[in-house]
Structure 1
Amino acid sequence: VAATHEQYLQKSASPRLIEVKPHPGLRMVVVIPCHDEPDLVGAIKHLANCDPPLGQAEVIVVINGSQKDLPAVHSQNLHTLGQAKDWLANRDDNWLPIHLLHLPDLPPKHAGVGQARKIGMDEALRRLADVDQAEDGLLVCYDADCRCSANYFTGIESHFAAHRRAPGCSIYFEHPLDAGEWFAHGFGGRAPGQMVFDGIATYELHLRYHVLAQKFIGFPYGFHTIGSAMAVRSWAYVKQGGMNRRQAGEDFYFLQKISWLDQMTELTDVTVNPSPRLSDRVPFGTGKAIGDYVTNGKLATYPPQAYRDAQWLLGQVGALWETGRPNDVPPEAMARFLGEDFTRSVVPEIRVNSGDLDAFRKRFFRW
């Protein structure tokens, strides 16, 4: 493992960014990308008020920008950095070390939330490796516009202690659904209008329906992939090549790769409360969905028949392994989706590279 993490850091990570040595008992690092965020202090203050875990935790904030950003974004980032420094200099209880990284000139080609998460998580891995936690240390993803339950650190710590084989977990989340919940969760500033809250309620229902439908049909990778509500072990992070640099959907693709290692778990007794807000920063996801709802007054979701069609395919895995062909006729929409290449080239390629049904199943679901 030592050689693996060293090779990863040498090949894929930036040079060391934090010179302060980590606490010898460091076991968990929370990484927060921050881009054009007005209330970072509210987020880190909330984390610092959580119950301390048994092992040491710390936070790395990556305040990031690039040459393609408007001057107003760089100005906000500098203002945020100054506010955070002032708060850190004057706080009373500092059980939770918080490191601020200001990276205003990331290459425009890759600048975005994926790159910011990667920079922070790579540095977190390096610091965990400094104290011999390159295998079992925990890398936790959070966002600068979130709040959480007081047991955030203790709950994550206990969950991974109870699930020794789990490479990672998805953490339960709930968006505030009205102004009362907005202020109750500790969000500052003016609350969004009710139309935004209605939009996030609709989008969250879509997400929950989608995951529950996947579980209902027996799909083995049915879990939420919210960037502000996930955690992985450091060995899994290294083994799957670290965080990707996608400018949207980085959380989905990252957890998908982690889930190939072993069974992902769901941490349900800790809650992350992401902020509902409009955003034109990415082409899909929460901010885009709320914008669509505010514009159109509705959101689309997937029809139940789509899951029934997928359930048919899941039921064919055994037959595909044994004979290379399904044992009955696919639903019409599924037949169009699979096409002739499915049994002509896709299934044979998976079969020839699989030694048994279990290996075939894993390869099939990766396809």
Structure 2
Amino acid sequence: MNTYLERYAYPERFLSNEAQAHTTQIVVIPCYNEPDLLTSLQSLANCKPTKGHTEVITVINHGENASEEVIQRNQQTLEEAQAWASAQSLPHLSFEFIKVSNLPKKHAGVGLARKIGMDEAAYRLEILGKSKAPIICFDADSQCSENYLLEIEQYFQDYPKTNAASIHFEHPLEGDFPKQWYEAIEIYELHLRYYVNGLRYAQHPFAYETIGSSMVVRADIYQKQGGMNRRKAGEDFYFLHKIIPLGNFADITSCQVIPSPRPSDRVPFGTGKAVGEFLASGETQRMDSYHPEIFEELKVFIEKAYGFFKQPFGAVKEEMPAATQAFLVESKFEEELQKILKNSPNKKIFKQRFFQWFDGFRTLKYVHFLRDYQYPPIDLRSGVDKLFNLLEISQCQPAQQLESMRAYDRHLHYSPKLSNWD
């Protein structure tokens, strides 16, 4: 057994049976106080058969401070799911359930639940000698297209060097929930896509969606990068931004995840929390977001930052816009640059080390710094209009903006153009 599984994985193994020998991928679902798990499991069961075997591991969990209502809900969910699974007869698909109770209050949450399931999946694949097989992250209130499992399996077989991927997602915009829920999720999804495509306009090499229900990672890469974190929210963002800088990261757009539009109070931030805040405010059709000038300034910064490799810090800084200069001072980048240069014998290593510093998290801090320093938020739909101009996407009515951006994302094979860096 390797170092990660021996020293850093969750210490307990829950499943006594081995995965089937011809398993090609494992889906992991964290489940807490979830009434709709069967809908998600049925969505996976409705998928087209995969060539190999797919295993689904659901981690039904609660913390030591959980209410009696949550504990009872989890037990009911487990019993219903086990009964449902025993009635299935799918040779290509099997369902396993882990129940974890009384997790420490400090760590109990979606990050730890994902970690428990993903560590279990990594262990089971290691036993089979299939450490390069993908571990797929899904959610207990999500659904998927019928080709979801098959397309992911095929992608990793066709492109075996792929380390990880983001799966195309589209929230439902109509259905049985209240109209306001769909209005809120539409504007929030537009905001998510606006931000990532703003980064893509700027040619940031790490501009990918980081949605927990829509990500997949090879088991060996999962272990190499230290596994899943235990964050109560944002675990997906922080996890993927350890993986993306390795390269060989992909967008899989030939299938899709359908996340729930429901509001949620289970995490301190994220999609469900944002929808809940929209509903509480009574404003579900409007949102302020980042000024597009921020993405234009970011583009200039990325284009000119290569100059730091050979030119004096002050000379290159003076070529930057004022807000970016202020950010570099605030971030004490000149000191960091000396460390980067000291360990960069060539421009390839310099690029790698620069973007280790200017990673996804620091880029978000940059965007927030420029927002507070010079570019206050503007109406999201106005920002999208301006970004469409920058990306040369045809203008459309506000109601069509999300579908236009979805279509753009489905057909875009993102490859940042950093010619002056290469």
TM-score (norm 1): 0.92
1:45-60, aligned counterparts within 5 Å? 45-60=42-57
1:145-184, aligned counterparts within 5 Å? 145-179=141-175
- 1:111 paired with 2:103, answer no
Measured against aligned partners, the alpha-carbon deviations of 1:159-216 in whole angstroms (never above 9, x if no partner) come to 122222221000000000011xxxxxxxxxxx32111100000001011111111111
Aligned counterpart for 1:306 among listed residues 291, 294, 297: 294
1:1-367, aligned counterparts within 5 Å? 6-13=2-9, 14-93=11-90, 95-134=92-131, 136-179=132-175, 191-296=176-281, 297=283, 298-325=286-313, 326=316, 328-339=318-329, 342-367=332-357
CA RMSD of the aligned region, Å? 1.5
Distance 1:192 1:360, change over 3 A: same
Structure 1 match to 2:376:
none
Measured against aligned partners, the alpha-carbon deviations of 1:62-111 in whole angstroms (never above 9, x if no partner) come to 00001122221111111101110111222343531111101121111111
Tell me the secondary structure at the aligned position of residue 260 of structure 1. Answer: helix
C-alpha distance in 2 between matches for 1:292 and 1:343: 36
C-alpha distance in 2 between matches for 1:220 and 1:275: 29
The answer to whether the 8 A contact 1:46-1:147 is kept is yes
The answer to whether the 8 A contact 2:202-2:299 is kept is yes
Tell me the CA shift for residue 281 of structure 1.
Answer: 1.9
Tell me the CA shift for residue 363 of structure 1.
Answer: 1.5
Distance 1:272 1:343, change over 3 A: closer
C-alpha distance in 1 between matches for 2:322 and 2:279: 35
Tell me the secondary structure at the aligned position of residue 296 of structure 2. Answer: helix
Uncovered stretches (5+) of structure 1, i.e. residues with no partner:
180-190
C-alpha distance in 2 between matches for 1:99 and 1:81: 11
The count of corresponding residues between Structure 1 and Structure 2 is: 351
The answer to whether the 8 A contact 2:27-2:138 is kept is yes
The answer to whether the 8 A contact 1:67-1:105 is kept is yes
Structure 2 match to 1:184:
none
The answer to whether the 8 A contact 1:324-1:348 is kept is no
Tell me the CA shift for residue 269 of structure 1.
Answer: 0.6
Between stretches 325-334 and 254-263, larger displacement belongs to 325-334
Measured against aligned partners, the alpha-carbon deviations of 1:22-63 in whole angstroms (never above 9, x if no partner) come to 111112000000001001111112111211211211010000
Tell me the CA shift for residue 333 of structure 1.
Answer: 2.0
The answer to whether the 8 A contact 2:112-2:230 is kept is yes
Identical aligned residues as a percent: 40
The answer to whether the 8 A contact 2:50-2:92 is kept is no
The answer to whether the 8 A contact 1:324-1:347 is kept is no
The answer to whether the 8 A contact 1:33-1:64 is kept is yes
Structure 2 match to 1:182:
none
Give the aligned residue type for 2:171: H
Between stretches 152-161 and 56-65, larger displacement belongs to 152-161
C-alpha distance in 2 between matches for 1:201 and 1:340: 35
Distance 1:88 1:310, change over 3 A: same
Uncovered stretches (5+) of structure 2, i.e. residues with no partner:
358-422
Give the aligned residue type for 1:147: Q
Give the aligned residue type for 1:224: E
C-alpha distance in 2 between matches for 1:147 and 1:343: 44
Give the aligned residue type for 2:24: R
Tell me the CA shift for residue 340 of structure 1.
Answer: 6.1
C-alpha distance in 2 between matches for 1:63 and 1:97: 17
Tell me the CA shift for residue 119 of structure 1.
Answer: 0.4
Between stretches 234-243 and 307-316, larger displacement belongs to 307-316
The answer to whether the 8 A contact 1:141-1:230 is kept is yes
Tell me the CA shift for residue 346 of structure 1.
Answer: 1.4
Measured against aligned partners, the alpha-carbon deviations of 1:306-361 in whole angstroms (never above 9, x if no partner) come to 11221122012221111242264322222222216645301111111222112111
C-alpha distance in 2 between matches for 1:327 and 1:90: 65
Distance 1:360 1:237, change over 3 A: same
Tell me the secondary structure at the aligned position of residue 339 of structure 1. Answer: helix
The answer to whether the 8 A contact 1:350-1:360 is kept is yes
Give the aligned residue type for 2:228: M
C-alpha distance in 1 between matches for 2:255 and 2:236: 19
The answer to whether the 8 A contact 1:319-1:327 is kept is no
Tell me the secondary structure at the aligned position of residue 56 of structure 2. Answer: strand
C-alpha distance in 2 between matches for 1:246 and 1:25: 33
The answer to whether the 8 A contact 1:324-1:343 is kept is no
Give the aligned residue type for 1:219: H
Give the aligned residue type for 1:332: A
